[in-house]
Amino acid sequence: MKKFVLISCVSKKLDGQHRAKNLYISPLFKFNLAYAKLLKADKIFVLSAEYGLLELDKKIDSYNKTLNEMRIRERKVWAEGVLGQLKEKANLDSDEFVFLAGKRYREFLTPEINNYDVPMRGLGIGRQLKFLKEKTCGTCGKLHGLFDRMEKHRFPFDEKRIPRNGIYILFEKGEPGHGVDRIVRVGTHTGEGQLRSRLKQHFLNENKDRSIFRKNIGRALLNKDGDGFLEHWELDLTTREAKDKFLHLIDMKKQAEVEKKVSDRIRNNFSFAVFEIEDIEDRLRIESRIISSVSGCEECGASGGWFGLNSPKEKIRDSGLWLVNELYKEGMKDEEFLELERLIRDKGDSLV
């Protein structure tokens, strides 16, 4: 016997063409998909008012149609089509089906299916979200919840509100995760008292050789446009030897233009939370644990419109993070999360 999960489509979608799993961007759909993955199904499908039964990786155009606005005869015709598609992939008599779908999406399907479950039958949207959050929010979800309660800094930020030593958590406009702003980068510093200057290197100083984050944003900008200057953007001019070897090859006016575009994107699209950690070994350990917990989470990830998908770096595209190091290592344990939560709570002024 196989298990299939059926998730109904939602009205909130990206424009254009996307894979089904990325097209629908409402928190309800995201949480439904995360919960579906926890059920260890053989296959997850979307019940689309426009396309019928959809596989998650199927590329489709955005649409504006819902069963909630269809007449009963139209819904019956739609259901007959979906049943026909299901029969090609499953046994309606013996296989198990889980419906994460509203009444009108399942009303003419369930009578034809022998073994099915509706975990959220009778629950309104608010109670569905509560149910799903409780089921899906593991360590990554708890980290998102913790950092969401912290003060968010945006450009231009007051450096006096930034500790001298610590970790920063970066969020990007339009990127949801676990029902809040999604973590897209985690960073720290090795030099004593350098957290403020590290953030200035990202947001203020237009020098991609001093900020790998800026360099990665520039890579995505240039790669998106198919700009051949990407080859020169990759060159690191930090050392005197490198300058002597490569500086004469680079159009510095073009480089300044790209740096300005990088600054505009970072300043207009990113915010961050910070918390103080004095000891360098603790900083590096906690940074690694957070990155690994987020990159290894199956319940949150990049949206279909995430700018990082333009990156030439496969690790960035696959992880949904502006990072290539510390991915998929040892995640944060429960006791480490409680330690971090206490540390941030004891600082007090970091929480809002």
- Given a contact cutoff of 8 angstroms between Cβ atoms, the answer to whether 186 and 197 are in contact is no
Residue 278 identity: E
239-285 confidence digits (pLDDT tens) = 989 888 888 889 999 999 999 999 999 999 999 999 999 999 999 99
Token couple for 301: 């990830």
176-204 confidence digits (pLDDT tens) = 998 899 999 999 999 999 999 999 999 99
Please return the burial class of 325, using the count of CB atoms within 10 Å of its CB with bins 0-12, 13-18 and 19+.
Answer: exposed
Q: How far apart are CA 100 and CA 123, in angstroms?
A: 11
- Given a contact cutoff of 8 angstroms between Cβ atoms, the answer to whether 74 and 29 are in contact is no
- Looking at residues 13-37, what average pLDDT do you find? 87
Please return the burial class of 185, using the count of CB atoms within 10 Å of its CB with bins 0-12, 13-18 and 19+.
Answer: buried
Across 35-49, 79-93, 130-144, the highest mean pLDDT is recorded for 79-93
202-216 confidence digits (pLDDT tens) = 999 999 999 999 999
Q: How far apart are CA 97 and CA 115, in angstroms?
A: 6
14-24 confidence digits (pLDDT tens) = 899 999 988 88
121-174 confidence digits (pLDDT tens) = 999 998 998 888 777 667 898 899 999 999 999 999 999 999 999 999 999 999
Top pLDDT among 116 and 27 is at: 116
Does residue 349 have a pLDDT over 60?
Answer: no
Token couple for 13: 């979608």
SS (H, E, C) the chain: CCEEEEEECCCCECCCEEEHHHHECCHHHHHHHHHHHHCCCCEEEEEECCCEEEECCCEEECCCCCHHHCCHHHHHHHHHHHHHHHHCCCCCCCCEEEEECCHHHHCCCHHHCCEEECCCCCCCHHHHHHHHHHHHCCHHHHHHHHHHCECCECCCCCHHHCCCCEEEEEEEEEEEECCEEEEEEEECCCCCCCHHHHHHHHHCCCCHHHCHHHHHHHHHHHHHCCCCCHHHHCCCCCCHHHHHHHHHHCCHHHHHHHHHHHHHHHHHHEEEEEEECCCHHHHHHHHHHHHHHHHCCCCCCCCCCCHHHHCCCHHHHHHCCCCCCCCCCCCCCHHHHHHHHHHHHHHCCCEC
Residue 348 pLDDT grade (very low, low, confident, very high; cuts 50, 70, 90): low
Domain parsing of the chain, residue ranges:
3-135, 139-347
Q: Rounded to 5 degrees, what angle do the CA atoms 70, 74, 75 make?
A: 75
Token couple for 230: 């990407």
Q: How far apart are CA 276 and CA 295, in angstroms?
A: 23
pLDDT, position 136: 66
Q: Considering the chain, what percentage of its residues have pLDDT values greater than 70? A: 98
pLDDT, position 328: 83
Residue 315 pLDDT grade (very low, low, confident, very high; cuts 50, 70, 90): very high
**pTM as predicted:** 0.64
